[in-house]
């Protein structure tokens, strides 16, 4: 199968019907995307497919044939950290950080579509991302700050 991953064309040979997350982690050494629940509940595995955040644990790899996929490794823009990454780095809203890559990808996909959201809209957008350390208030605030910085 062929697709674009983090701006580069990629050809991968797949056997059976692996999920995208398996292909990233086991064939492409893109281990920033995490396995959490494996059931599309926690959001730890989210990546962008054609600009929308999707759970890669339940997304068949072959379904992204010909599409643009971005993982947490590909969020940089023009060689610099994405503003959301930069604010997360400065504010450090996480504890263990296991949810961070899914949060980042979901936040970036959301802000691309809604660059100036309210806090309530951010809460709604992040609804599918679970943080087991419960650092939600700091994460929401960091995304809000990033949106204002980008504006
Ligand atoms: S690991 Fe995919 S949503 Fe939890
Ligand atoms: S900081 Fe630990 S799961 Fe979110």
Listed by start position, the domains of the chain span 2-74, 83-150
Centroid of ligand 1 to alpha carbon of 31 (angstroms): 14
> What is the arithmetic mean of pLDDT over 102-106?
98
104 vs 84: CA distance, rounded Å: 7
Considering the domain 83-150 in this protein, what is its CATH number?
1.10.150.120
Query: What pLDDT, in 10s, does the model give residues 18-61?
Result: 999 999 999 999 999 999 999 999 999 999 999 999 999 999 99
Name which of 38, 42, 30, 40 is nearest 6 in CA terms: 30
Task: Report domain 2-74's class.
Answer: alpha beta
Q: Which ligand is nearest to the CA of 34?
A: 1
83-150: same fold as 2-74?
no
Centroid of ligand 2 to alpha carbon of 2 (angstroms): 33
Q: Please tell me the pTM assigned to this model.
A: 0.96
């Amino acid at each position: 199968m062929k697709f674009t991953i983090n701006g580069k064309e990629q050809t991968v040979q797949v056997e059976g019907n692996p999920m995208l997350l398996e292909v990233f982690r086991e064939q492409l050494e893109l281990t920033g995307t995490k396995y959490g629940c494996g059931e599309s509940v926690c959001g730890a595995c989210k990546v962008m497919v054609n600009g929308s955040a999707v759970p890669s644990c339940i997304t068949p790899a072959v379904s992204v044939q010909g599409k643009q996929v971005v993982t947490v490794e590909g969020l940089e823009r023009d060689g610099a950290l994405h503003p959301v990454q930069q604010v997360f780095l400065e504010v450090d809203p996480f504890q263990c950080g296991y949810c961070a890559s899914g949060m980042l990808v979901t936040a970036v996909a959301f802000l691309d579509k809604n660059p100036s959201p309210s806090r309530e809209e951010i809460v709604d957008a992040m609804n599918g991302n679970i943080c087991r350390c419960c650092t939600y208030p700091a994460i929401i605030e960091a995304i809000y700050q990033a949106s204002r910085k980008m504006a």
